[in-house]
Structure 1
Amino acid sequence: MTQCLNPNCLHVNLTDTKLCQQCNSTLLLMDRYRAVSLLGQGGFGRTFLAIDEFKPSQPRCVIKQFLPEVKGKKALKKATELFEREAARLDELGKHQQIPELLAFFNQEERKYLVQEFIDGEDLSKELKNQGVFDSKKIKELLLDLLSVLDFVHNNNVIHRDIKPENIIRRKKDNKLVLVDFGAAKETMGENTSAVGTIIGSAAYIAPEQAVGKAKFASDLYSLGATCLHLLTNIEPTELFDVAEGEWIWRDYLQDNEIDYELSRVLDKLVEGATKRRFQSVSEVLAALSGNTNPNSTYSSRSDLIKAQYSNPSSHKNQIPSTRVKKQIQKLELKIFEYDWQTIADNSGLIIGKKSHLQTYLHHGKAKYITINLAKDITLDLIGIPGGKFLMGSPNNELEREKEESPQHQVSVRPFLFGKYPITQAQWQAIMGNNPAKFVDSDVSLSKKPVERVSWFDCNLFCEKLSQKIGREIRLPTEAEWEYACRGKTTTPFHYGSTIGAELANYNGEDVYGSGFEGENRRETTDVDRFSPNRFGLYDLHGNVAEWCADSWHDNYHNAPTDGSAWTNNNPKDSRILRGGSWLHLPGSCRSAQRIKSDPKSKSDAFGFRIAASI
């Protein structure tokens, strides 16, 4: 069959017809290209599937007919410019095997036509509809495949400006991804890319700077990241961004997709709103995907710690350490572990008028984690904590609440990694080469007891050394992160429930909280894996050792940040915060909301810490 190209006709004719039987228009373009069927229609014109009769094999091709639906001379001029630009870009870039080749560009019967190579395949929006959401493996393959194309495009000083699932076709013959539709592409040679220009691109995928007409190479990387998020969730990117909170919430829409740590970090950085925090080039993205980075480069901590010299042992006691670290030593793989966690029954109490153990319920859970190798046979696990919102602080009716736990306020926490356990003596010794603890096992290298008698400064030095060892930023948790992780989606005083028992945690059991019972007072620390974890798979959050946080002390939560970041005045003399209580504290001091104030130089056999890392 032959498709008439007259916009007012579009009659379908017999195959060998040269003139339209309806309107008498010429059916062959350049006496060579015969339109077979209409493929689609957009704001700038129509697209037809065609054959090239000039060649014996009569290969298929695509005819684009310029037919803009615009009003006014200025709009028509711009549309013409974009159509001609697409032809020019394809002429320059079509030599790449994953970009359609330009076959012809000409005028016929006072209409402009562009003829390009036909890509036999399905675009990714259709693939998403037909096959469902992409998994982690397919997203990695997509990135690796398309990044090489983008590298070629950018090296030719061209910004595509319209990367989206519909403009990526999976070619049938080799399964390669082909980048199409260069109508929005813009050459950057000799231009100021910061100058305000025309806003072009699909709104759901364009970067903030492109939305105001200032597209950069990094804008294409943003669009690629937004495309990946759409394919992972089957939700348009505009729905994956919480405008009120100013953050991406794409993880909330994952459909049982296991996204590994490295890929998660790459996706987050691809869609950073601020261009300075986004990947700047294809090579940076590829390096992050492979786990390889420039060994001479450094990056800064996200925490608000003051950067200071910490290399002089005689002067580091009262300084806040630098958190700049060298990159790339260990590549960390996300794994999954399963565990049982407990909650206390609401009706725990007396049985036949006598004291009894707390009645508990057992639940099964699983969590994602990474393992860091510290030394021979000594490792450290970090649990992946999903992002979310929670009420920080205690409600007015919570037993033994303190005024510094108010006002209760909603906080949004981004996903992060958090220590499965407090840092043990074996882990501390592997990094620091000593053991300051009071409650020491006979073989420290095997000790599961938490390290204690460490100051806030000591803990930051540990984080800095570990960061340098593995090439990734390790830090103390923010106070909001700690409480969010401890609660594990609960609102009760403890993650176990409304009370606590000495069989569930290590604290001074000679006192009781709420409907709890008296129990053992062990008067020393215990192994960090002795008791049941919380819902997130984290152990020892109530009792054993109180844990240092990054924040400065504030007497209440008035004007506290609501994004989960550290609230610090960047003053080395500031008092700091510990959370969770310890072996010597009464149960009320081990609540999820309880805050302990201490000098950052303090070293107590009740003070320890666990580490965190941003994703």
Structure 2
Amino acid sequence: MQGSILAGRYHIIKHLGGGGFGQTYLAEDKRRSGNLRCVVKQLKPQFTDPQTLSIARRLFKTETESLHQLGTHSQIPELLDHFEENQEFYLVQELIDGRDLSKEIIPGQRLSESEVMAILHEIIEILVFVQQHKVIHRDIKPTNLMRRNSDRKIFLIDFGAVKQITTQIVNTTGQIPPTIGIGTGGYMPAEQNNGHPNFSSDIYAVGMTGIEWLTGILPHELPKDANGEIVWRDRARVSDGFANILNKMVRYHFRDRYQSAAEVLQALNNLRRVRPPTTVISSPNLLTLMSNWTREHIIGLLGVSLAAIFGVAAFFTPEIRKMLGLEGADNLASYDNTAKGIKIKYPDNWTKQEESNAITQEVVQFISPKESEGDKFQERLIVTVEPTTNNKTLDEYTKLSKQEILNLDKNAKIDKEEESTLAGKNGYRVVYTTKEGNEEFKKLNVWTMKNDKAYLITYEAEAGKYEQFLPVVEKMIKSLEVQDTK
């Protein structure tokens, strides 16, 4: 094949690999400026009788239409061309200059939880798009995940759906039997091995890939319990929240797994929201500090004590209010995001950080000023806009969100919950506490739904300062406006 020209334009440079389903080649397109390099996949039907070829042509047309739609995603190779030549079928796809993750993350190497979570976030976001187009990949594994050199983005390649073209066997009635078990052992769940894949089959494969990176053990080498469930938790350093998500992704029976990538994404987003800050600095013991104090320190302490006596009056002076970020409650700036259809007011002395994260769906954060150089955690308010699935009602979204808070953070304790309003619509409010080491944090989540989207405001503070900033936060929450988006 090397050196040959296909369809009068694709010059085959070298063989890249292949197997029973076909061969893959690096080629140059002689009709494109600069002889654009591309990937040519050759698909050979097992049988070439007229009836089988007719079915193969129909499947090829259907699957290439699907691949063309998928290729509109920025992290799926674009389908450039497809054709039939000498009773063989060819796909021409965008060449991704990079290397697959099996070469980047070698067996035996363990990645940290944060590294694995970041990669899985990226994969799941792509898979949400794939499932929106009613496609099952069937063969997600490290070798089918490419990291592009130019920007380090991960690409999902080699969709197994087109492999059906090369494996169809027509029975005596001219009908096509159920799909054979296309996939790779260890990453492929039981129902897919039996020829009945569904959306959760791809979720299983992603979960097993994540477990492989956390444990450094190939999936087929991990033991299973009497119920067929993967035993891996004792072989990795991972939080309960993330482990619970992975366990649900790889449950033996598909009905026990997440039923869509969108559900996995929501669980990961919720884990991101409930996870307490990791930048807390432990405070020195007070007696240790006092042993090193000078006369000036002691006098200063007396001054602080006297100030505490008159603290109520001092607290409301303009200087103190400004230092604590409360003065901004009287001086509100306006944030307007027309793309997301939201408006909200915030204290003009708080820092605004716009987000552009397709994974967490966060839109913007507002962060309080530092009270002093020793301020360990700056209180913040986060606005999130995320699409919902299956036309969820407010009650359904509320139930799921409350479950995720408790399931993903073993330290979470709901202190108060009640019906509420947000942006003039019915909503729900949950206040809960959580811990990071010896530090306690308090969070407020308020959400509502409109136009198949959930609008969520999250307020995060150290437990001891939660009430201090609550008046400002309540003004911000009350100011939120949600508009119709295209």
TM-score (norm 2): 0.52
Aligned match of 1:61 in 31, 35, 38? 38
Aligned match of 2:102 in 116, 119, 125? 125
Q: Which residue of 2 aligns with 1:251?
A: 233
Alpha carbons of 1:138 and 1:75: their partners in 2 closer, same or farther (altered >3 Å)?
Answer: farther
Q: Which residue of 1 aligns with 2:260?
A: 281
Q: Which residue of 2 aligns with 1:290?
A: 269
Deviation at 1:75, TM superposition (A): 8.5
* Residue 266 (str. 1) matches residue 245 (str. 2): yes
Distance 2:119 2:262 in 1: 15
Alpha carbons of 1:273 and 1:374: their partners in 2 closer, same or farther (altered >3 Å)?
Answer: closer
Alpha carbons of 1:142 and 1:78: their partners in 2 closer, same or farther (altered >3 Å)?
Answer: farther
User: Could you list the per-position Cα deviations for residues 94-148 of structure 1 after superposition, in whole angstroms to 9, with x for gaps in the alignment?
Assistant: 1111111111111334433221111111111121228933321222112221222
User: Could you list the per-position Cα deviations for residues 358-403 of structure 1 after superposition, in whole angstroms to 9, with x for gaps in the alignment?
Assistant: xxxxxxxxxxxx644687xx989899xxxxxxxxxxxxxxxxxxxx
Deviation at 1:267, TM superposition (A): 0.3
Q: Which residue of 2 aligns with 1:496?
A: none
Q: Which amino acid aligns with 1:133?
A: R
Q: Which residue of 1 aligns with 2:18?
A: 41
Equivalent positions of 1:99-498 (< 5 A) are 99-129=76-106, 132-184=109-161, 197-242=179-224, 244=226, 246-254=228-236, 258-291=237-270, 296-297=395-396, 326-329=402-405, 371-372=411-412
Structure 1: which 5+ runs fail to align? 14-26, 188-194, 301-323, 334-369, 384-419, 421-615
Alpha carbons of 1:133 and 1:57: their partners in 2 closer, same or farther (altered >3 Å)?
Answer: farther
Deviation at 1:288, TM superposition (A): 1.1
Please say if residues 218 and 281 of structure 1, whose CA atoms lie closer than 8 Å, have aligned partners that are also in contact: yes
Equivalent positions of 1:541-580 (< 5 A) are none
Distance 1:40 1:210 in 2: 24
Distance 1:172 1:113 in 2: 26
User: Could you list the per-position Cα deviations for residues 42-69 of structure 1 after superposition, in whole angstroms to 9, with x for gaps in the alignment?
Assistant: 112211111222222322100112245x
User: Could you list the per-position Cα deviations for residues 239-291 of structure 1 after superposition, in whole angstroms to 9, with x for gaps in the alignment?
Assistant: 2241545332112333xxx3122211110000112223211122211121122
Q: Which amino acid aligns with 1:263?
A: F
Please say if residues 225 and 270 of structure 1, whose CA atoms lie closer than 8 Å, have aligned partners that are also in contact: yes
Alpha carbons of 1:218 and 1:185: their partners in 2 closer, same or farther (altered >3 Å)?
Answer: farther
Q: Which amino acid aligns with 2:186?
A: A
Deviation at 1:330, TM superposition (A): 6.6
Alpha carbons of 1:241 and 1:185: their partners in 2 closer, same or farther (altered >3 Å)?
Answer: farther
Deviation at 1:213, TM superposition (A): 2.1
Q: Which amino acid aligns with 1:159?
A: I
Q: Which amino acid aligns with 2:91?
A: L
Q: Which amino acid aligns with 2:219?
A: P
RMSD over aligned CA atoms reads 3.9
Alpha carbons of 1:61 and 1:147: their partners in 2 closer, same or farther (altered >3 Å)?
Answer: same
Distance 1:372 1:226 in 2: 27
* Residue 88 (str. 1) matches residue 65 (str. 2): yes
Distance 1:186 1:289 in 2: 31
Distance 1:234 1:131 in 2: 4
SS at match of 2:15: strand
SS at match of 2:105: helix
Alpha carbons of 1:331 and 1:112: their partners in 2 closer, same or farther (altered >3 Å)?
Answer: closer
Distance 2:25 2:202 in 1: 27
Distance 1:270 1:182 in 2: 20
Deviation at 1:228, TM superposition (A): 1.5
Distance 2:218 2:53 in 1: 30
Distance 1:153 1:147 in 2: 10
SS at match of 1:129: coil
Distance 2:15 2:47 in 1: 24
Please say if residues 249 and 258 of structure 2, whose CA atoms lie closer than 8 Å, have aligned partners that are also in contact: yes
Distance 2:32 2:435 in 1: 63
Please say if residues 262 and 288 of structure 1, whose CA atoms lie closer than 8 Å, have aligned partners that are also in contact: no
Please say if residues 163 and 224 of structure 1, whose CA atoms lie closer than 8 Å, have aligned partners that are also in contact: yes
Q: Which amino acid aligns with 2:262?
A: S
Distance 2:198 2:81 in 1: 29
Distance 1:150 1:217 in 2: 9
111-120 or 324-333, larger mean C-alpha shift: 324-333
Q: Which amino acid aligns with 1:269?
A: K
Please say if residues 108 and 216 of structure 2, whose CA atoms lie closer than 8 Å, have aligned partners that are also in contact: no
Equivalent positions of 1:497-576 (< 5 A) are none
Q: Which residue of 1 aligns with 2:421?
A: none
Distance 2:89 2:111 in 1: 38
Please say if residues 161 and 185 of structure 1, whose CA atoms lie closer than 8 Å, have aligned partners that are also in contact: no
Please say if residues 27 and 39 of structure 2, whose CA atoms lie closer than 8 Å, have aligned partners that are also in contact: yes
Distance 1:248 1:203 in 2: 14
Displacement over 4 Å in runs of 4+: 70-86, 292-295, 328-333, 372-375, 378-383
Deviation at 1:89, TM superposition (A): 2.5
SS at match of 1:35: strand
SS at match of 2:90: strand
Structure 2: which 5+ runs fail to align? 165-176, 274-387, 416-431, 439-486
Q: Which residue of 2 aligns with 1:591?
A: none
User: Could you list the per-position Cα deviations for residues 276-310 of structure 1 after superposition, in whole angstroms to 9, with x for gaps in the alignment?
Assistant: 3211122211121122798734999xxxxxxxxxx
Deviation at 1:332, TM superposition (A): 6.3
Deviation at 1:77, TM superposition (A): 8.1
Please say if residues 222 and 271 of structure 1, whose CA atoms lie closer than 8 Å, have aligned partners that are also in contact: yes
Aligned residues: 290
User: Could you list the per-position Cα deviations for residues 459-498 of structure 1 after superposition, in whole angstroms to 9, with x for gaps in the alignment?
Assistant: xxxxxxxxxxxxxxxxxxxxxxxxxxxxxxxxxxxxxxxx
Deviation at 1:185, TM superposition (A): 5.8
Distance 1:280 1:148 in 2: 15
The structure whose residues are more often strand, as a share, is: 2
Distance 1:326 1:86 in 2: 40
Please say if residues 414 and 433 of structure 2, whose CA atoms lie closer than 8 Å, have aligned partners that are also in contact: yes
Alpha carbons of 1:176 and 1:204: their partners in 2 closer, same or farther (altered >3 Å)?
Answer: same
Q: Which amino acid aligns with 1:279?
A: Y
Please say if residues 139 and 228 of structure 1, whose CA atoms lie closer than 8 Å, have aligned partners that are also in contact: yes
Please say if residues 39 and 48 of structure 1, whose CA atoms lie closer than 8 Å, have aligned partners that are also in contact: yes
Percentage of pairs with the same residue? 38
Alpha carbons of 1:105 and 1:328: their partners in 2 closer, same or farther (altered >3 Å)?
Answer: closer
Please say if residues 71 and 78 of structure 2, whose CA atoms lie closer than 8 Å, have aligned partners that are also in contact: yes
SS at match of 1:263: helix
Q: Which amino acid aligns with 2:5?
A: L
The structure whose residues are more often helix, as a share, is: 2
